[in-house]
Amino acid sequence: MADRTAANVMGRGESLLFLTDDQLRRGIEAMFFAYRGFTADPDRILQDYGYGRAHHRAIHFINRSPGTTVNNLLSILGVTKQSLNRVLRSLVEDGLVDSRVGIRDKRERHLHLTEKGAALERALSEAQRTRMRDAFRAAGPDAVSGFRAVLEQMMDPDMRRHYLDGGDGPR
Partner DNA sequence: AGTTTAAGTCAGCCTTGTTGACTTTCCAAG
Partner DNA sequence: CTTGGAAAGTCAACAAGGCTGACTTAAACT
Do 110 and 69 touch, CB atoms closer than 8 A? yes
Collapsing DSSP to helix, strand or coil, 8 comes out as: strand
Stretch that binds a second copy, among 31-39, 67-75, 89-97, 111-119 (CB under 8 A): 31-39
Contact between 145 and a second copy (CB under 8 A)? yes
Contact between 89 and DNA (CB under 7 A)? yes
Give min distance, CB of 104 to DNA, in A.
6
- C-alpha angle with apex 148: 142 to 150, nearest 5 degrees? 100
Count of helices and strands (H, E) across the chain: 7, 5
Contact between 101 and a second copy (CB under 8 A)? no
Give me the DSSP letters along 135-158.
HHHHH-HHHHHHHHHHHHHHS-HH
Give me the DSSP letters along 37-50.
HHHHHHHHHHHHHT
Contact between 8 and DNA (CB under 7 A)? no
Task: Say how far apart CA 22 and CA 6 lie, in whole Å.
Answer: 9
Give min distance, CB of 1 to DNA, in A.
32
Q: Which of residues 33-92 bind a second copy (CB under 8 A)?
A: 33-38, 40, 57, 60, 64, 78
- State which of residues 2, 107, 142, 157 lies at the interface with DNA (CB under 7 A): 107
14 binds, among DNA, a second copy, none (CB under 5 to 8 A by kind): a second copy
If one counts every other C-beta atom within 10 angstroms of the C-beta of residue 140, the result is 9
Give min distance, CB of 111 to DNA, in A.
8
Task: Say how far apart CA 69 and CA 62 lie, in whole Å.
Answer: 9
Q: Which of residues 67-86 bind DNA (CB under 7 A)?
A: 69-71, 74, 78-86
- State which of residues 104, 140, 141, 158 lies at the interface with DNA (CB under 7 A): 104
Residues that bind DNA (CB under 7 A): 50-55, 69-71, 74, 78-89, 99, 101, 104-109
